[in-house]
Amino acid sequence: DAAHGQLAAQLAVYLAPPGYGEMFSELGFLDLVQRARTGVKRFELAAAVPVELLDQVCALGSPEGIAKRLQAYHDAGADSVAIVPATAEDPCGAATLNAVALRYNANQEM
Claim to verify: residue 34 and residue 65 sit in the same structural domain: no
CB contact set of 59 (below 8 Å; sequence gap of 6+): 65, 66, 69, 70, 83
With 90 as the cut, is the pLDDT of residue 19 above it? yes
Q: Per mean pLDDT, which range of 27-31, 48-52, 77-81, 92-96 is the poorest?
A: 92-96
> End of a domain among 58, 74, 91?
58
C-alpha to C-alpha distance for 30 and 36, rounded to whole angstroms? 10
Claim to verify: residue 79 and residue 107 sit in the same structural domain: yes
- State the average pLDDT for the chain: 89
Q: Domain range for residue 19?
A: 1-58
C-alpha to C-alpha distance for 86 and 14, rounded to whole angstroms? 17
More confident residue, 104 or 8: 8
Claim to verify: residue 109 and residue 84 sit in the same structural domain: yes
Claim to verify: residue 53 and residue 65 sit in the same structural domain: no
Give the residue-averaged pLDDT of 24-51: 97
